[in-house]
Amino acid sequence: MWKVPWVAAVDDAAPAPPGAFLISDVDGTLVTPDKLLTEAAAAAVRSLRTAGVGFSLISSRPPRGMAALLSVLEVDKPFAAFNGGGVLGPDGEVIERLTVPVEAARMALALFDLRGIDSWVFARGEWWLRDPRGICTDRERRTVGFEPTAVTGFDSLLGEIDKLVGVSDDHDLLARVELEAQARLGGLAAAVRSQPYYLDVTHRDANKGHAVRAICRRLGLEKANLAVIGDMANDLSMFREAGFAVAMGQAPPAVRAAAAAVTGPNTEDGFAEAVRRYILPRAAAGAAP
């Protein structure tokens, strides 16, 4: 169901060079606000490969929405989608999958309806919603690269949901609903914004820290030998699992404070700057990247 349309015949269990691996967030980090991969960012990834530094991605996107980037960047290591709810091999093989419990999905959908927030569901390899012309739908089309399926309700998808998203252009409202969802869902599911306008609900263990641990187990990587880079609160869990964390320049204060270094914003090729200023020099010095 999750097979993604590219081919990479590689050995994903081969260990990366000691002290040299970088895992990057995608939206807000690797790509611009318009969801574009700049030549500087692509060149930075190529420079990592030349230097023997391993590279992979962890994103809130579905696997299909990551396929083009994975192909262009020639990622040949395991990667993660759905904020860590799905961990896949480079050929699209599903290594781990965590879905939203039925009761948690019902509660989140009811809360979003109550607060006037649009609901999106990612399940069965597709993107489901009620209004295909709703807010942020054009942005998401550019992001994931495929069309949504319009439905009147989501009951038939319960039990198969990889990620549920509350969508609003009222960022303050969504921040309040984030806290409300966290309180209501308790230990049933995780609720955290991946962007100011997206509130992601996933399995309670589906976070980027979980994905980092899964990838490290697969590759035999030590925490001290790993660097990560991200921009939002949903990246903090992977910051805690790495030996070196970089925050994007436009990240909220709490995210910047949790990082070992801060690079420029994604409007100014901050990812490429981080690779040039922090990752490559640390790798060359023999330190954790």
pLDDT of residue 4: 35
pLDDT of residue 146: 95
Counting Cα atoms < 13 Å in the Cβ hemisphere of 177 gives 30
pLDDT of residue 186: 85
User: CA–CA separation, 158 vs 148, rounded Å?
Assistant: 17
Which is nearest to 41 in space by CA: 275, 289, 283?
A: 275
Distances (CA, A) of 155 to 5, 22, 111, 158: 29, 39, 15, 5
User: CA–CA separation, 33 vs 58, rounded Å?
Assistant: 17
Residue 274 has which token pair? 């981080």
Asked whether the CA dihedral 55, 15, 93, 210 is positive or negative, the reply is negative
Which is nearest to 56 in space by CA: 226, 184, 251, 190?
A: 226
What are the two backbone dihedrals, phi and then psi, of residue 214, each rounded to the nearest 5 degrees? -65, -45
Neighbours of 253 (CB within 10 A): 8
Q: Give me the amino acid identity at 215.
A: I
pLDDT of residue 288: 52
Asked whether the beta carbons of 245 and 259 are under 8 A apart, the reply is yes
Residue 55 has which token pair? 């590279």
pLDDT of residue 20: 84
Asked whether the beta carbons of 175 and 193 are under 8 A apart, the reply is yes
pLDDT of residue 1: 39
Q: Is 166 helix (H, G, I), strand (E, B) or coil?
A: strand
Asked whether the beta carbons of 12 and 77 are under 8 A apart, the reply is yes
Q: Is 71 helix (H, G, I), strand (E, B) or coil?
A: helix
pLDDT of residue 18: 45
* Domains of the chain and any CATH numbers: 21-97+207-284 (3.40.50.1000), 102-203 (3.30.1240.10)
Residue 219 has which token pair? 């590759």
pLDDT of residue 271: 98
Residue 284 has which token pair? 């060359």
pLDDT of residue 74: 97
Asked whether the beta carbons of 84 and 58 are under 8 A apart, the reply is yes
pLDDT of residue 230: 98
pLDDT of residue 7: 26
Residues of the chain with pLDDT under 70: 1-19, 286-289
pTM, 2 dp: 0.84
Which is nearest to 60 in space by CA: 166, 150, 133?
A: 166
Residue listed under structure tokens 């989501």: 154
Residues 6+ apart with CB under 8 A from 114: none
With both helix axes pointing from N to C terminus, report the angle between 137-144 and 63-72 in degrees, rounded to the nearest 10: 50
pLDDT of residue 287: 57
